[in-house]
């Protein structure tokens, strides 16, 4: 079992309850991370520890689960051995293997943009972004050059999927409600938050009426929403699109997530976008006893279209892959995976949201409550659920977001580890 | 006003309430930090944001206070101008100046030890230490070499003042109660925590009976307390003393704090240890309208001995320096500073502590409650006070310390910023 995201955790938990099964869970991080809330860390609303839980703690009471913090570096599917930590590292023999490594930010052929416009997939990136934005306001307060001040106070988010929408909404509120009262020379509430999207509408995965509602809510928060605008070039502090050049001190790439780069290095089959194609039972064709789930896999839904890289997909795949791995070990036939769409949702600031549940389209405050409820439930441990509720409740009332710390200063974006 | 520690904050608050006074508060950090609780961040008990508060937030409602995040780099005491951020930076003219920059870890002539045994003065250092210790256990779990395993699982804390005692107690509890259940191959509860002190007893500033109580409590937690042992050399993963060589993956220097290195660079007078001598009214002799308080100053107490570098001293000096600065501006005579000793206290693990309040010596559980009460009161904002109470309450009941995250991996110690 490799990867402690929603997919890997679910699979490990399912198997941990089967007598006689020994589970080894490998992850290069020591924590499970709720990536969908990373934007809250980046916008100073939450602490990293409130959306991340130590993996060992989650399996403390399962004596048949062994957790290893290590990086998968090699795979011998014939001898059934996984290599960890490269040369001189561990060799772990397996009977069945479930790969759930997640995805990585995809720059669509422009990896050099990563240094100027990082993605938002890890705690490091979120903390960097938080420090970078807060420090930009500090610099602007000291700055005497009006043009430079405007550049420092401009945030451009590229890509209007859920992450881009939620992040730009959170930054818009941060500047308008939280930072507004903190400065004397500058007016943070006038800072620009620009959301750039190549497609014709925000939240393309949602029905058009909800895209429209989300756009309205974003504009209500003062976000400049620019759809149908394609990025041509990104450099230090600017983005060039087919509509012109935008000077922005802070650039965030939320335009795409692809498969995991390790898939190719391990010799797994991959499709365009780097995802690993799986068979209906989530196994990888040609590799005996290897299953692949979550963002790293390419899994066709009932309509033949690939399932999106979202937590609910991985959460449903985990137990199915685990059951199929057990069936494989016991020589029983495996079952195909069928995705049951629990709906999709996104939040726009602290009071608005959009959600699709079955045939119902929900927007506005009701959409926000729907989002809140589902996301609180997905936080894996009780203490964090309580802390997040408390923090959100307090921030809701007071508009004092507590986590406005700059530390590690303004490191170069190159330094930030994504994974 | 430079520095947003307890001294600078107190002075700024006092002045902020005087009509007609314009206060500029400069700090190179954007947050006030409660350094005495950093050991809790290092031992995975608290989040950085729970012991740090954004400075701007604290002065949000004082319109006559301007906060600038910048580094003081030059001082022209004749023209009364402070230079910020070096060449090309800001120049700030002042009528009176209160310097409260704090202290820095003092290696007594061995600055090269800093890279092997960092101190504990900043959030970065605390996060590094947390990640370093947690990662050492992860490595030990993977390690097949018994000797290397023992080295990985050895933590040496050098210096048995309050920081050293509190840190080693917290690590002892972390390994025995929190990490104990998390691993399969290693036994974290057998990890060694060694506290090395050159003097004859721990907590030298306390009366001998309390030193003895603290030593007993530490040993009860399984800390190896070695007094009268002098450090001769520190290198990568080992410390050499007059009693022999100790192999320890984690080394922490808690043996000394000196004045601020900037004092000398600014051309201020300094004594041995780098502290700035002040006159009875906290002003610096020869510099018109300049006052100096907190850990960076050398201030004689009633008995002629220098006051220790502790929060209560800075907290009492702040308002006095502020009042004297105002008196100076108005041409009135200044008042001498008189320290009223509120007592000293230190905690040993989660249930024991020692305290001196007036003539009373308190130890054991009562000492712990005394410590708890005083430290909660000193947390500057209400939200953090509530969060810390909640987190401590939960950790007390469940022995699940929530902040066991490793991020930014095992960076080299050289990278860590102290200030």
Q: How far apart, in whole angstroms, are the C-alpha atoms of residue A317 and residue A6? A: 9
Q: Which two tokens stand for residue A23?
A: 């589970």
Average confidence score pLDDT of chain A: 89
Q: pLDDT tens across A87-120, in order? A: 888 999 999 999 999 999 999 889 999 999 999 9
Q: Which of B142-156, B162-176, B320-334, B377-391 has the lowest mean pLDDT?
A: B377-391
Segment (H or E) for B223 = strand B223-226
DSSP H stretches of helix in B62-161: 123-142, 146-152
pLDDT band at A412 (very low <50, low <70, confident <90, very high): very low
Q: Which of A120-124, A388-392, A400-404, B25-29 has the lowest mean pLDDT?
A: A400-404
Segment (H or E) for A382 = helix A382-398
Residue B86 has pLDDT above 90, yes or no: no
Nearest-by-CA chain A residue for B32: A405
Segment (H or E) for A217 = helix A208-220
Mean pLDDT computed over A325-341: 95
Percent of chain B with pLDDT over 70: 93
B188-193: long-range pairs with CB below 8 Å, 24+: B188/B137, B188/B153, B189/B222, B190/B153, B191/B137, B191/B153, B191/B154, B191/B155, B192/B150, B192/B153, B192/B154, B192/B155, B192/B224, B192/B248, B193/B155, B193/B157, B193/B168, B193/B222, B193/B223, B193/B224
pLDDT band at B303 (very low <50, low <70, confident <90, very high): confident
Give the per-residue pLDDT at A396. 63
Residues of A in contact with B84 (CB under 8 A): 142
Cα distances from B364 to residues B6, B23, B137, B211, B375, in angstroms, run 28, 44, 30, 12, 17
How much is the pTM? 0.88
Cβ of residue A184 closer than 8 Å to a chain B Cβ: yes
Residue A378 has pLDDT above 50, yes or no: yes
Mean pLDDT computed over A51-66: 90
ipTM for this model: 0.84
Residues of A in contact with B90 (CB under 8 A): 142
Average confidence score pLDDT of chain B: 89
Cβ of residue A48 closer than 8 Å to a chain B Cβ: yes
Contact B215, B168 (CB under 8 A): no
Task: Give the residue, A46 or B269, on which the prediction is more confident.
Answer: B269
Partner-chain residue, chosen from B29, B52, B404, that has the shortest CB–CB distance to A54 = B404
Cβ of residue B187 closer than 8 Å to a chain A Cβ: no
Q: How many CA atoms lie within 13 A of B210 on its CB side?
A: 29
Catalytic annotation present for A166: yes
* Residue in B55, B189, B407 to test binding to A, most A beta-carbons within 10 Å: B407
Residue A207 has pLDDT above 70, yes or no: yes
Mean pLDDT computed over A66-84: 93
What residues of B are annotated to the active site?
A: 166
Give the per-residue pLDDT at A47. 86
Percent of chain A with pLDDT over 70: 93
Interface contact flag, A124 B407, Cβ < 8 Å: yes
Mean pLDDT computed over A266-277: 90
Residue B226 has pLDDT above 80, yes or no: yes
Q: How far apart, in whole angstroms, are the C-alpha atoms of residue B9 and residue B320? A: 12
User: Could you write out the three-class secondary structure of A225-271?
Assistant: EECCCCEEEEECCEEEECCEEEECCEEEECCCEECCHHHHHCCCCCC
The helix/strand/coil state of B203 is: coil
Size of interface A-B (CB pairs under 8 A): 136
pLDDT band at B406 (very low <50, low <70, confident <90, very high): confident
Distance (Å) from the alpha carbon of B247 to chain A's nearest alpha carbon: 23
Residue B379 has pLDDT above 80, yes or no: no
Partner-chain residue, chosen from B85, B89, B383, that has the shortest CB–CB distance to A402 = B383
Contact B334, B283 (CB under 8 A): yes
In the DSSP assignment, the letter for residue A275 is: P
Q: How far apart, in whole angstroms, are the C-alpha atoms of residue A144 and residue A185? A: 10
């Amino acid at each position: 079992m490799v990867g402690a995201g929603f997919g890997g955790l679910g699979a490990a938990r399912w198997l941990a309850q089967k007598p006689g099964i020994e589970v080894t869970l490998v992850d290069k991080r020591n924590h499970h991370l709720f990536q969908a809330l990373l934007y809250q860390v980046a916008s100073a609303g939450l602490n990293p520890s409130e959306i991340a839980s130590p993996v060992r703690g989650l399996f403390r009471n399962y004596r048949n689960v062994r957790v290893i913090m290590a990086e998968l570096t090699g795979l011998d599917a014939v001898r059934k051995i996984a290599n960890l930590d490269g040369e001189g590292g561990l060799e772990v023999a397996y009977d069945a293997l479930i790969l759930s490594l997640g995805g990585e930010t995809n720059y669509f052929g422009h990896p050099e943009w990563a240094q100027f416009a990082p993605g938002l997939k890890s705690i490091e990136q979120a903390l960097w972004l938080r420090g970078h934005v807060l420090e930009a306001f500090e610099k602007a307060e000291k700055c005497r050059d009006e043009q430079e001040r405007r550049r420092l106070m401009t945030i451009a988010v590229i890509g209007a999927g859920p992450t881009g929408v939620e992040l730009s909404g959170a930054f818009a509120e941060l500047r308008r409600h939280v930072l507004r009262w903190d400065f004397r020379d500058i007016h943070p509430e006038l800072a620009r938050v620009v959301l750039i999207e190549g497609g014709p509408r925000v939240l393309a995965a949602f029905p058009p009426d909800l895209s429209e509602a989300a756009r309205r809510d974003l504009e209500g928060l003062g976000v400049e929403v620019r759809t149908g605008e394609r990025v041509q070039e990104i450099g230090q502090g600017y983005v060039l699109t087919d509509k012109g050049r935008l000077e922005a001190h802070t650039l965030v790439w939320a335009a795409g997530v692809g498969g995991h780069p390790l898939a190719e290095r391990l010799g797994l089959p991959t499709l365009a976008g780097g995802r690993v194609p799986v068979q209906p039972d989530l196994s990888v064709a040609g590799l005996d006893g290897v299953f692949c789930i979550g963002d790293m896999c390419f899994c066709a839904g009932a309509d033949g279209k690939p399932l999106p890289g979202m937590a609910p997909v991985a959460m449903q795949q985990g137990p199915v892959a685990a059951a199929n791995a057990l069936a494989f070990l016991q020589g029983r036939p495996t079952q195909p995976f069928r995705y049951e769409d629990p709906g999709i949702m996104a939040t726009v600031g602290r009071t608005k949201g959009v959600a699709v549940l079955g045939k119902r389209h929900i927007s506005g405050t009701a959409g926000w409550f729907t989002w809140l409820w589902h996301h609180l439930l997905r936080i894996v441990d009780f203490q964090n659920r309580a802390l997040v509720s408390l923090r959100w409740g307090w921030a809701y009332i007071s508009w004092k977001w507590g986590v406005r710390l700059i530390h590690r200063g303004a490191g170069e974006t190159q330094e930030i580890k994504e994974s």
